[in-house]
């Protein structure tokens, strides 16, 4: 008897990790996002969350692999794990270089997230942890979509670091439904996912802002009205990245929501074409 499909990723989309390298050391020593301390610290603060978070995501999904019958979803779980493991390594390197160059305390920055993850392993069921992963994957997917669709979030950024973030966003787009499909397949509920989204959004914003403040304080710019004014503008007015993702954030709360209701595969195709064009140009000039 045929297995009932558990994957709802669009037909024809196959994905896996891209082995990329980024020469980011020189740029990380600077306010690499257009000279803005706030925008630079916003992205650096997010990066600090990824190594621990992505290990948690991998573990949460892998826990249920034996319960999945759909060969395609099993293939996607493996690809998800491989992509997230690659992201984890890249951002661990990013974070260690950043902290060494700018004197940030990596242990202090990671402490809150590490303690909360330890609490989740002790106190939450495996399915609730998976719901949290599903919610976090939605957050990264909608932020990636905003970045890739409009490119305004990265305007003025150092090209090499921007490329790292764009690459990360492409892979988050490709695997955005894997944790969701696994959670549905193992009996996860809409209520679990809604609850997880609200909590995870709070902690994502809280931790990113905490990291940002630690960095600005170290840089002597924590009380700069100019930086906070431009930062508020960046997040909520123009381009207003948090304002712009609010409607996509809300869609997750719908009873019939699925990540691929917003089919943005064209972003992956466009990025791949751009990479091919860049590689060909580099070869022609080589």
Q: What is the CB neighbour count within 10 angstroms for residue 116?
A: 13
Measured in residues, the chain has a length of 286
Give DSSP secondary structure letters for 114-179.
HHHHHHHHHHS-HHHHHHHHHHHHHHHHHHHHHHHHH-GGGTTB-HHHHHHHHHHHHHHHHTTTHH
Tell whether 17 is covered by a domain.
Answer: no
Calculate mean pLDDT across residues 52-66: 98
Structural domain for 80, as ranges? 25-276
Domain with residue 162: its CATH number is: 1.10.620
Binned at pLDDT 50, 70 and 90, residue 282 comes out as low
Tell whether 188 is covered by a domain.
Answer: yes
Tell whether 11 is covered by a domain.
Answer: no
ω into 123 cis (within 30 of 0): no
**3-class secondary-structure state, position 22:** coil
pLDDT digits (tens, 9 = 90+) for 247-269: 999 999 999 999 999 999 999 99
Tell whether 64 is covered by a domain.
Answer: yes
Tell whether 4 is covered by a domain.
Answer: no
How many domains does the chain divide into? 1
Tell whether 19 is covered by a domain.
Answer: no
Tell whether 285 is covered by a domain.
Answer: no
Q: Write down the number of H helices and E strands in the chain.
A: 13, 0
Tell whether 3 is covered by a domain.
Answer: no
- pTM for the model stands at 0.95
Calculate mean pLDDT across residues 182-186: 98
Residue 286 pLDDT more than 60?
no
Calculate mean pLDDT across residues 7-28: 94
């Amino acid at each position: 008897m045929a297995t009932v499909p558990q994957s709802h990723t669009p037909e024809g989309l196959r994905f896996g990790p891209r082995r990329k390298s980024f020469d980011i050391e020189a740029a990380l020593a600077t306010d690499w996002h257009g000279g803005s301390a706030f925008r630079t610290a916003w992205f650096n603060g997010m990066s600090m969350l990824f190594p621990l978070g992505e290990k948690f995501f991998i573990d949460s999904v892998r826990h249920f692999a034996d319960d999945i019958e759909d060969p395609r979803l099993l293939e996607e779980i493996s690809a998800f794990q491989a992509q997230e493991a690659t992201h984890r390594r890249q951002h661990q390197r990013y974070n260690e270089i950043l902290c060494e160059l700018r004197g940030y305390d990596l242990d202090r920055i990671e402490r809150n997230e590490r303690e909360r993850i330890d609490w989740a392993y002790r106190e939450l069921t495996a399915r609730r942890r998976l719901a949290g992963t599903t919610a976090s994957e939605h957050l990264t997917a909608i932020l990636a979509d905003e970045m890739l669709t409009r490119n305004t979030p990265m305007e003025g950024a150092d090209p090499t670091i921007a490329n790292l973030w764009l690459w990360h966003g492409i892979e988050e787009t490709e695997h955005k439904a894997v944790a969701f499909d696994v959670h549905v397949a193992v009996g996860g509920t809409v209520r679990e996912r809604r609850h997880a989204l609200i909590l995870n959004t709070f902690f994502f914003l809280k931790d990113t802002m905490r990291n940002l403040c630690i960095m600005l304080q170290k840089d002597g710019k924590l009380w700069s009205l100019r930086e906070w004014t431009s930062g508020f503008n960046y997040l909520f007015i123009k381009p207003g990245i948090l304002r712009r993702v609010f409607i996509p954030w809300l869609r997750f709360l719908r009873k019939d929501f699925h990540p691929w209701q917003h089919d943005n595969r064209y972003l992956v195709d466009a990025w791949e074409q751009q990479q091919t064009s860049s590689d060909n140009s580099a070869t022609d000039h080589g």
